[in-house]
């Protein structure tokens, strides 16, 4: 074997490997490349509810405490020992107007009346005697005197003094009778006893607190109202209800003895000034006969001290837009599901909202679907898939695509029918 042949055999494997690599390279470079398809983001599933256009009766929700309109501290005007206590004069007891609640020992005051009556009798006798002497002096002057008699001659000063003494005696008698009547302690109204601070046998003096009572003819509830809530009620700041201009109705509710109760009240006036600490104006609602007629209507008496919820009837807004409260984003933003399956950010004019509803006056229409579920990184034009409150898919974009598919199917059917007609005619 020659040297040339040996060299060829030596480098032959290398040439084969290089040729194989070159072939693979050419195949890779000439192979068809797959087309790149840009993947569109999947639509975001959202829940939505129909926006309603209707007339809305606004309502202001607030809270307050039931308080008596009339409440007094029961105190005596005379001193003495307590000899009688009414069985109803106890915490929670009911009493009638003028009913004796406490009786103070009156023996000393009866004696004072007797002494005053004796002084009146003496003063009357002195006046009669002085009147007779004055008449006698006038008669003697007519018979014996000359000219005009002086007042002293006719005993007119003595007669005036006797009359004044009688008037003073009568005043003392009236005072003694008044003190005697004041030994019987009562209230000028029908009510209930809130507390009792005195008992049988106790000595009391004028001003000693015997207890605390309140009237049951009506109760009141002070309800805090913000400036926005006042505008919803459409009442002036200095409001006073009259027969011609009654106040808004108030539905008072509370859970009492494990049961939900409701009572009807009326907003009768607003407070005289805005509270300097809370910056709210208080409205006063009143309920008549809380232990009688109101108790029958509400199924239970409305006790003093109960903390209640109050819904005040406000003005009527014509053509308002109503949607679920969860549709509100921030202070005045709502997300709307547009036709074509996109999201639209709207600014709305909020009238009021509560835990269930959002009421606005503009920014949306009755045909809109308000998005109620959370949406992360929301933006105008974001692709969405809308789901209704009952779980049904109401995506407008899907409806449009389905209609396009239906039209394509109809075109295919028409084309196939035309081909069939041409074939039959050719045959």
Q: What is the pLDDT along the chain (427 residues), one digit of tens a residue?
A: 555 666 666 666 776 677 777 777 767 677 676 666 556 678 889 999 999 999 998 999 999 999 999 999 999 999 999 999 999 999 999 999 999 999 999 999 999 999 999 999 999 988 888 887 777 777 766 666 666 666 676 677 878 888 899 999 999 999 999 999 999 999 999 999 999 999 999 999 999 999 999 999 999 999 999 988 898 898 888 999 998 999 999 999 999 988 999 999 999 999 999 998 999 999 999 999 999 888 888 888 999 999 999 999 998 999 899 999 999 999 899 999 988 889 999 999 998 888 888 999 889 998 899 999 999 888 999 999 888 877 777 754 444 334 444 444 444 444 444 444 434 444 3
**Calpha distance 230→361 (Å, rounded):** 18
**DSSP calls for 16-70:** HHHHHHHHHHHHHHHSPPPPP-PPPPPPEEEEEEEPEEEEEEEEEEEEEEEEES-
Per-residue pLDDT, 298: 80
Per-residue pLDDT, 173: 94
Are 332 and 348 spatial neighbours (Cβ–Cβ below 8 Å)? yes
Place of tokens 């006719």: 154
**Calpha distance 398→384 (Å, rounded):** 10
**Calpha distance 247→267 (Å, rounded):** 5
Residues paired with 253 in a beta bridge: 262, 309
Decide the pairing of beta strands 259-270 and 281-288. antiparallel
**Calpha distance 346→367 (Å, rounded):** 14
Are 247 and 266 spatial neighbours (Cβ–Cβ below 8 Å)? yes
Per-residue pLDDT, 109: 94
Decide the pairing of beta strands 44-50 and 384-387. parallel
**Calpha distance 216→302 (Å, rounded):** 10
Helices (H), 259-298: 293-298
Per-residue pLDDT, 340: 83
Residue 93 class from Cβ within 10 Å (0-12 exposed, 13-18 middle, 19+ buried)? middle
**Calpha distance 369→150 (Å, rounded):** 109
Which DSSP category does 77 fall into?
S
**Calpha distance 404→410 (Å, rounded):** 10
Q: Please, which residues have CB within 8 angstroms of residue 318's CB and are 6 or more apart in sequence?
A: 55
Residue 64 class from Cβ within 10 Å (0-12 exposed, 13-18 middle, 19+ buried)? buried
Per-residue pLDDT, 417: 46
Per-residue pLDDT, 400: 37
Per-residue pLDDT, 172: 94
**Calpha distance 155→351 (Å, rounded):** 88
Are 328 and 346 spatial neighbours (Cβ–Cβ below 8 Å)? no
**Calpha distance 49→285 (Å, rounded):** 37
């Amino acid at each position: 074997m020659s040297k040339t042949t040996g060299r060829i055999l030596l480098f032959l494997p290398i040439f084969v490997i290089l040729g194989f690599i070159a072939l693979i390279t050419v195949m890779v470079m000439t192979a068809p490349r797959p087309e790149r398809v840009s993947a569109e983001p999947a639509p975001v599933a959202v829940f939505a509810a129909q926006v309603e256009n209707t007339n809305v009766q606004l309502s202001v929700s607030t809270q307050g405490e039931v308080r008596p309109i009339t409440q007094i501290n029961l105190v005596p005007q005379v001193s003495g020992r307590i000899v009688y206590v009414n069985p109803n004069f106890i915490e929670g007891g009911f009493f009638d107007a003028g009913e004796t609640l406490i009786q103070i020992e009156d023996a000393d005051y009866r004696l004072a009346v007797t002494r005053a009556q004796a002084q009146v009798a003496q003063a009357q006798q002195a006046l009669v005697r002085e009147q007779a002497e004055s008449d006698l002096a006038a008669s003697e002057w007519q018979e014996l005197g000359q000219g005009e008699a002086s007042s002293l001659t006719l005993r007119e000063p003595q007669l005036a003094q006797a009359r004044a003494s009688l008037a003073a005696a009568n005043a003392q008698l009236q005072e003694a009778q008044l003190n005697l009547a004041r030994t019987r302690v009562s209230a000028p109204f029908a009510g209930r006893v809130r507390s009792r601070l005195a008992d049988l046998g106790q000595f009391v003096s004028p001003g000693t607190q015997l207890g605390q009572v309140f009237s049951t003819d009506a109760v009141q509830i002070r309800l805090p109202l913000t400036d926005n809530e006042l505008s919803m009620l459409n009442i002036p700041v200095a409001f006073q209800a009259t027969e011609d201009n009654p106040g808004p109705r108030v539905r008072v509710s509370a859970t009492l003895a494990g049961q939900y109760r409701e009572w009807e009240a009326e907003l009768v006036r607003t407070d005289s000034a805005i509270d300097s600490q809370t910056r709210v104006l208080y409205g006063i609602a009143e309920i008549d006969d809380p232990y009688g007629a109101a108790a029958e209507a509400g199924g239970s008496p409305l006790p003093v001290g109960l903390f209640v919820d109050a819904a005040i009837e406000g003005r009527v807004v014509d053509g308002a837009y109503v949607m679920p409260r969860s549709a509100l984003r921030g202070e005045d933003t709502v997300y709307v599901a547009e036709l074509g399956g996109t999201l639209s950010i709207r600014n709305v004019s909020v009238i009021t909202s509560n835990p269930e509803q959002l009421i606005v006056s503009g920014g949306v229409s009755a045909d809109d679907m308000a998005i109620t579920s959370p949406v992360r990184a929301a933006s105008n034009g974001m692709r969405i898939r809308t789901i209704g409150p009952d779980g049904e898919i109401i995506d407008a974009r899907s409806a449009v695509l389905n209609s396009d598919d239906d039209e394509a199917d109809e075109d295919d059917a028409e084309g196939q029918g035309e081909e069939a007609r041409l074939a039959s005619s050719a045959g």
